[in-house]
Amino acid sequence: MGTNDIFILAIESSCDETSAAVIADGKVLNNIVATQSVHEKYGGVVPELASRAHQENLIPVVQEAILSSGISKDQLSAVAFTRGPGLMGSLLVGVSFAKAFAFAKKIPLIEVNHMNAHILAHFIEEPKPNFPFICLTVSGGHTQLVLVKDHLDMEVIGETQDDAVGEAFDKTAKLLGLPYPGGPLIDKYAKEGNSKAFQFPITRMPELNYSFSGIKTAVLYFLRDQLKENPKFIEENLADLCASIQYALVEMLLIKLKAAVKQYGVKEVAIAGGVSANSGLRETLTKLAAQKGWNLYIPKFEYCTDNAAMIAMAAHFKYLKGEFSSMDVTPLAKMKI
C-alpha cells in the first residue's frame, strides 16, 4: 500500500447492531458486526438497552476491525460514523466515539446518512449498478424508492406514508404469535405455504408512495374472526398465512417499483436494506427483472442488514469530495436523503 492511500475507519450504531469496518482506497477490508440478542424477550428493540449494548460492544468491535485490517490507527485518514436516521441513544454512542477518536488522532470526521449507505452497499463488490438507477430501499424503519444519479446525488421519488414494510412483517408476525424479529420467520414458513391460500388487501397509494398499516389491521381482524371458529387456526395454517402475507407485501412493493421504472425510463434496478434479504422478494424480483429486461442488483446478505461496510463505502466517496464534518456535529434521529 502506498503513502497516499485513503484508510477510513467506519462505525455503525443506528439501531441494534454495533459494527465497524476499515476501507482502503474504496476496497472494504472487513466488516465486524456485534448483534444484540437482549431485545428478543421484549418483542422489539428497546432503545435504552440498545445504547447500553453499543457502549459495551463498540470498543471491542473497533479494535477487531483495526487489528484484522492490518492497518495501524496511525495510518487512518479519517473516521466515519452514522449520523442518522436511527435511535438517538444508539447514534450518540457512535457519534461520541467517532468524535473522540478523530480528535485524539487529529484526523477528519465524515458523517454518513444511513439510508444513503444502504444504497451505496452496491459499490462494495462487483457487479455495480450504472447511473442512473432506481433503488428500492426496504428496512424496519424505511421504505423508499430512490432515483440514484451519482454516488452522492440521490432523490427520493416515493416512500411509505406510515409503517415501513419491515414493520409490517414484524407486526403481522407478532399477530401470528411468532417471536421477534418475526420478519425472517415469515420468510422461512412462507417457503412451505401457498401464497394464494388467503387474500389480504393490496393498498394502492397515489403516485409512487406506499402504505403498509392496512395489511396489519386486515390480518388482525381476519385472525380474530377465524380463531372464534377454530382456536387452532393459526397453528394449522401457519405456512399458508405467512406465504399469503408475504405475497401481499411483496406485491405492494413491486407494483410501485414497476411504475417507477416505467415513469423514469430506467432499466438499472437495485434493492437495499434489511428486508432485501427476504427470499420471497428476491425470487419474485429476479423473475420480474428477467421478464422486463432490467439489470437487477441484489446485495450479499451481509450487506443487507445494518453494517459498517456500507458506512465505509459511503465515507470513501465523501472523502474524495472533501465532505468532512465539524466537531460540533450531533446525531439526527430523522435524516432525509
Instruction: List the grid coordinates of 208.
Output: 409512487
- Tally the residues of the chain: 337
Closest CA to 169 of 262, 70, 94, 252: 252
Report the binding-site residues for Fe cation.
114, 118, 306
CA distance 175 to 157: 32
Instruction: For the chain, give every residue range classified as CATH 3.30.420.40.
Output: 7-120+304-321, 128-298
CA distance 330 to 327: 9
CA distance 117 to 84: 11
Torsion angle of the four alpha carbons 133, 138, 144, 150, in this order, in degrees rounded to the nearest 10: -30
Beta strands in the chain (DSSP E): 7-12, 17-24, 27-28, 32-35, 78-84, 109-113, 133-138, 143-150, 153-159, 268-272, 295-297
Report the binding-site residues for substrate.
137-141, 170, 183, 187, 278
Judged against a pLDDT cut of 80, whether residue 292 lies above it is answered with yes
At 222-251, the pLDDT tens digits run 999 999 999 999 999 999 999 999 999 999
At 105-149, the pLDDT tens digits run 999 999 999 999 999 999 999 999 999 999 999 987 889 999 999
At 252-267, the pLDDT tens digits run 999 999 999 999 999 9
SS3 state of residue 80 = strand
What is residue 64's predicted lDDT score, i.e. its pLDDT? 96
Q: Are 183 and 165 in contact (CB under 8 A)?
A: no
At 81-100, the pLDDT tens digits run 999 999 999 999 999 999 99
Q: Are 66 and 22 in contact (CB under 8 A)?
A: yes
pTM: 0.94
Closest CA to 31 of 59, 77, 62, 6: 62
> Which whole number is the average pLDDT over 2-28?
91
End-to-end CA distance of the chain: 34
Q: Are 13 and 90 in contact (CB under 8 A)?
A: yes
Report the binding-site residues.
114, 118, 137-141, 170, 183, 187, 278, 306
CA distance 142 to 135: 13
At 28-83, the pLDDT tens digits run 999 999 876 666 766 777 777 889 988 999 999 999 999 999 999 999 999 999 99
At 203-221, the pLDDT tens digits run 989 999 999 989 999 999 9
Judged against a pLDDT cut of 60, whether residue 2 lies above it is answered with no
Q: Are 47 and 5 in contact (CB under 8 A)?
A: no
At 142-194, the pLDDT tens digits run 899 999 999 999 999 999 999 999 999 999 999 999 998 899 999 999 999 99
What is residue 317's predicted lDDT score, i.e. its pLDDT? 98
Domain 128-298 of CATH type 3.20.190.10: no
SS3 state of residue 283 = helix
Q: Give me the helix-helix angle, 279-292 and 183-190, nearest 10°.
A: 70
Q: Give CATH for domain 7-120+304-321.
A: 3.30.420.40
> Which whole number is the average pLDDT over 271-282?
94
What is residue 48's predicted lDDT score, i.e. its pLDDT? 78
CA distance 129 to 135: 10
